[in-house]
Each structure stands twice: as C-alpha cells, then as structure tokens.
Amino acid sequence: MIETDILIIGAGPTGLFTVFEAGLLRMRCHIIDALPQIGGQLSELYPKKPIFDIPGFPSIQAAELIENLYEQIRQFQPGFTLNEQAVELNKLEENLFEVITDKGTVHRAKAVVIAGGLGSFEPKKPPLENIAAYEDKGVNYFVKRPEDYRGKRVVIAGGGDSALDWTIHLAEIASSLTLIHRRSEFRGALDSVEKVTALKHEGKINLVTPAEVIGLQGNDEGYLTALTITKEEVAEILETDYFIPLFGLVPKLGAIANWGLEIEKNAIRVNNASDYSTNIPGIYAVGDINTYPYKMKLILCGFHETSIVCQSIYQRLNPNRKFILKYTTVSGVDGFDGSRKEAEKQVVASIE
Amino acid sequence: MEQEIVIKVKDPQGNLHTLDCPVDMGLSLKDICKAYELPMEAVCGGMCMCATCHCYLLSHTEALNEKSSEEKALLSELFNAKANSRLACQVPLTAELNGLCIEIVPD
C-alpha cells in the first residue's frame, strides 16, 4: 500500500505543479496516471507544439514545459503510479482517502486532488465484430512492454504518429512486422516518416497500403492466429501472433463519474468562490477536469487553482495553524531530498 | 458585410441548435460549437490532431475552404468518415457560411 499526504490523479501540468505548491507547505504527494509517461495531453497529443500563453514564456514547447515542471518538483520527491487508472475512490475517515487502480494498487492519503484533464485516454477500436474476444489474446491497443513482441509476428494498423513510432521500434524486435494503412500517406513527424520509408526499402518491414483489416481468426484456445485483410478489393489471409491497432485515443471521464462527485458538462463542479473543493470535503478538482462559472481550460488557470487547493488542504490538516504564504525568493525552497534552492545573499561591505 | 451569421447544428441526439456566430473574431466552426456547449469533444483544442470534432456537412459543401493534407489524413483514419466529413476545427467561420447546416458525429 502506498501512503502519502496528497494523492494526485493525473500527471499533466496541473497535477505536476501541485507537487511544488504542496512541497512548499511540507506536504508530500503521489501521482497516479493511466498513461505510461508524465505530462498528460502535452506528452501524448502535442509534445512538439509550442504554447504561447504560459506567463513569462513567450513560447515553450509542450514537452519542454513538462521537463521543466519535473525539474521544478524533483526536490519534493513525488511518487508515481503510471500506466494504471484510478478506478475506485473511498473516503475512509474525515482525512483519510483510499484510491485503487485497475491493477489493484492501493493508495491512501489525507486529501485527494483530481487533476485528470479530460479523463483517461482510451483507444479507438476498429469496428471488427469479434475483436473484443481477442483483446489481450493477440490484440493489444497499447505497446506496454516491447519485449513481449520479441521473435513474434506483429501487424500494426494505423496511419499516425504512434503507428509509425511503434513500427520503427518493433521492427528491430519482432520476427516480422507488417504495417497496414488505408491510404499510402502517413501523418507524423518527418523523421518518423523517413525512418519507416527506409525500413520498407531495406525490406525490414512489410508495408501494405491502401489496405484494411476486415476480420480476425483464432485458435481453439481463443488466441489470435491470423487476420483477413483487403487490398484493392482483394482479400487475403495474413498469419500473425499480434495485431496492434493504433487509431488514436479518445478521452473518457470513466470511473471518476462514479465517485459521488457533482458532475456538470462532463466535468467536476467545484467551488471557485473559495478553494476549488468538490462536494466531498477533502477531494478537490483542478485544471481541465473542473468547471465553474467563467472556467477557462488553460494551463495557467490550473496552476492558480492548485496553489489555492494546497493552501486549503494545509488548513484542513492543520486547523490550528495560521495561513502560510511563502515567497520562494525570500524563503528559498527546501526539498524533501535535503537540497535547498535560495537567492544569493547580499553582502554588506564598505567599498574603499 | 454582415458581422454575424447563423448556422444550424444537429447534435448526436438529433436535437437541432441555431447558433449566432460572429465572423470577425477569427473563430472556427469548432470554437462556436464549444462556445454553445454542444457535445463536441475537440480534445486537442483545434490543432488538427485528434479528430474528435468530426462533423458531416449538410449544406454549403462547395463554399468551404479546402481540406489540408493533415485533415485529409486524419479523416482517413476514422471509421465513420464520409465524403461530406470535416473536422470543425479546420473550418474558419466566414460570411459565406451563413445558413450552414452540420451534424456532429459521435465517436
């Protein structure tokens, strides 16, 4: 069981910055995210795109903002449960909450901050009749452990960045790799398109376009053994061990909707007149996942919201203490790892 | 020229909405649907990356701007794309679109 002061659901920019604000008030954090990496939408959807409305940064690349945020919070030693989705949230006592993931990992904390963005990203599934029967029996929508594909026959379908990137990665590992797409054009970073083109010319991958997977076949144990594909209206059977459809992700609010929180317009209603608390005391929602009058889904608004949330949690957990506001320039920043950042001291000296 | 146009949007439940749209704010079809809080995801915020603002044009198919190659590629990856499919984030609102009718396509 993982125990901490504040449990954060969502490792996007707002969730990450929560660790910093909590750390200034000497509260420790642990973050859960359904994706295998931190950064939320910024890492998953647009890592290479610039953002122009982060105060003080005329332009910053999304991936760079996430790297900077991680560097900023590292001192406060946040814990991470990645690649797991928070599915259950229980209030055990006034200041004790339990969050359980889809893999069964149990977390306990004194307060919960939901920074879940648009919810968790779920894969778009191709409309093939019996595909659900082969999920985790040859059909995978994510590549979680590339090593699982060593020496196996793999078919990837899709025409975007992730189809290209995994083709490049798994071409080295799989015994054979086939990339199927409905058109001959692919959509991705120039570098990825060039690498896949090279792999094709070197004969390291089998590129089948314009083509589509229209059926799946399995063995008696229920495992996938072959795909039916059509290319220019001619159907053929392609034997394979794995089929990885990569048609993008769609966000779903998912389990969060069942936690007894007040939901409005696919978002969690919070009290913006005070501290962004939800209808359950001790549970807060910040960033894109909350809503209130005049809500703007901007990263900078999430940063503001979560700084107030941390103050509110501090007050809840320490009811007899005064409101504490720290200016980092004055107080410096003391990490839980023993490191200290501080402004350079002035000197008082006579000049002769 | 008129600074405001009217468009009609059918949501996935079949309800018809009439939207008054300013054309001098640099808004896209996606922006105005979001402003009216219609059920359009538009996850990526309009970067032509996620295809969750997919709609069918029910009129004005000729008056619209050309699809970019990115938009064409994204549409090609959808399972329910048709000849009249567009990504609303890639359609700027202009005076020529007065009276436009669209249908929001559910995922």
Domain assignments of chain B as residue spans, ordered by start: 4-104
- The pLDDT of residue A11 is above 90: yes
Residues in contact with A81: Cβ distance below 8 Å, sequence separation at least 6, in sequence order: A2, A30, A31, A32, A33, A101, A105, A107
For A255-285, write each residue's pLDDT tens digit: 999 999 999 978 999 999 999 999 999 999 9
User: Among A198, A226, A247, which residue terminates a domain?
Assistant: A247
**By residue range, what is the domain housing residue A98?**
2-121+250-341
SS3 category, B60: coil
> A284 forms bridges with which residues in the sheet?
A113, A277
User: Given a cut of 70, is residue B86 above it in pLDDT?
Assistant: yes
In this predicted structure, what is the pLDDT of residue A199?
96
pTM of the shown model:
0.79
Q: How many domains does chain A have?
A: 2
DSSP class of residue A274?
Answer: T
Span A171-199, pLDDT tens digits: 999 999 999 999 888 988 889 999 999 99
The two three-digit tokens of residue A237, written as one number = 């059977």
Q: A238 or A36: which carries more pLDDT confidence? A: A238
pLDDT band for position B2 (50/70/90)? low
The answer on A131 and A116 residing in a single domain is no
Using N-to-C axis directions, what is the helix angle for A13-24 and A62-73, rounded to 10°?
20
* CA dihedral over A59, A64, A67, A71, signed as positive or negative: negative
Same domain, A242 and A131: yes
Together in a domain, A8 and A111:
yes
**Residue A234 vs residue A254, higher pLDDT:** A234
Per-residue DSSP letter, A138: T
What integer is the mean pLDDT of A129-139? 94
User: Which residue of B lies nearest to A122 if distances are taken between CA atoms?
Assistant: B107
Residue A135 reports pLDDT greater than 90: yes
Of the candidates A157, A171, A163, which has an alpha carbon nearest to the alpha carbon of residue A193? A163
Whole-angstrom distance, CA of residue B49 vs CA of residue B66: 17
Interchain contact, A187 vs B51, CB within 8 Å: no
Residue A106 has pLDDT above 80, yes or no: yes
Range in B30-34, B60-64, B80-84 with the lowest mean pLDDT: B60-64
Does any CB of chain B come closer than 8 Å to the CB of residue A158? yes
When the candidates are 3.40.50.2000, 3.10.20.30, 3.40.47.10, 3.20.20.210, the CATH number that belongs to B4-104 is: 3.10.20.30
pLDDT at residue B73, as a whole number: 85
At B50 the pLDDT is 83
Percent above pLDDT 70 for chain A:
100
pLDDT of res. A176: 97
Q: What is the mean pLDDT of residues A143-152?
A: 92
Contact residues, chain A, for B45 at CB < 8 Å: 297
pLDDT tens per residue across span A204-239: 999 999 999 999 999 999 999 999 999 988 999 999
Read off the CATH number of the domain in which A95 is found: 3.50.50.60
Task: Quote the mean pLDDT of chain A.
Answer: 94
In terms of domains, do A97 and A153 share one? no
How many Cβ atoms from other residues are within 10 Å of residue A221's Cβ? 7
Alpha-carbon distances of A96 from A24, A31, A108, A268, B30, rounded to whole Å: 21, 16, 7, 21, 42
Contact A247 B74 (CB under 8 A): no
Sheet containing strand A263-264, edge to edge, reads: A263-264, A267-269, A290-291
Residue type at B75? L
- A vs B: CB pairs below 8 A: 52
Q: Of A221, A247, A273, which one is at a domain's C-terminal end?
A: A247
Quick one: A200 and A305 in the same domain?
Answer: no
Q: Is the pLDDT at B89 greater than 70, yes or no?
A: yes
Stated as kind and residue range, the H or E segment containing B41 is none
Measured CA to CA, the distance from residue A286 to residue A308 in angstroms comes to: 10
Q: Does B49 touch chain A (CB under 8 A)?
A: yes
Confidence of residue A305 (pLDDT cuts 50, 70, 90): very high
Q: What is the pLDDT of residue B48?
A: 86
| Residue among A159, A249, A297 minimizing CB distance to B76 | A159
Q: What is the pLDDT of residues A62-102, one digit of tens each?
A: 999 999 999 999 999 999 999 999 999 999 999 999 999 99
Are A162 and A237 in a shared domain?
A: yes
Picking from B41, B50, B72, B80 by the largest number of A CB atoms within 10 A of its own CB, the best residue to mutate is B50
Residue B65, CB-side half-sphere exposure with 13 Å CA sphere: 16
- pLDDT at position B1 over 60: no
CB contact (8 A) between residue A250 and residue B69: no
Any CB–CB contact under 8 A between A182 and chain B? yes
Per the domain annotation, does A170 fall within a domain? yes
Domain check: are A167 and A263 in the same one? no
A296 has pLDDT over 90:
yes
Q: What percent of chain A has pLDDT over 90?
A: 80
- Which residue of chain A has the CA closest to B106? A250
Cis peptide before A123 (omega within 30 of 0): no
Q: Are residues A254 and A117 in the same domain?
A: yes
With an 8 Å Cβ cutoff, are B50 and A186 in contact?
Answer: no
Residue A47 near chain B (CB below 8 Å): no
Residues B45-70 pLDDT 10s: 888 888 899 999 999 888 788 999 88
